[in-house]
Amino acid sequence: MSPELVDQTILASCKPQFLKVIRIIGDVDRVMNGTKVDFIADRIKALVKAGRLEAAGNLNRWEASEIRLTGK
């Protein structure tokens, strides 16, 4: 699965308000059946680093951290 396609699916699953990372990973996994959840989590971190998503909490703790769209 290409990183760009996974990124698009992650961004489409996010909203301007914070949502739990575990929820976004689950949503993307359901749409892109067969994509490893660790790869999805790595792409979320890359999108946060690139400024496309804003994070709250430790992104390694999926159930405790949250992300949202930044508008960029």
For the chain, the three-class secondary structure string (H helix, E strand, C coil) is CCHHHHHHHHHHHCCCCCEEHHHHHHHHHHHCCCCCHHHHHHHHHHHHHCCCEEEECCCCCCCCCEEEECCC
68 by Cβ neighbours in 10 Å (0-12 / 13-18 / 19+) ranks as middle
Report the amino acid identity of residue 4.
E
pTM as predicted: 0.94
Q: Which domains does the chain have, with CATH numbers?
A: 3-69 (1.10.10.10)
pLDDT tens digit sequence for 5-18 = 999 999 999 999 99
For the stretch 9-57, pLDDT in tens is 999 999 999 999 999 999 999 999 888 999 999 999 999 999 999 999 9
* Interatomic CA distance for residues 69 and 72, integer angstroms: 8
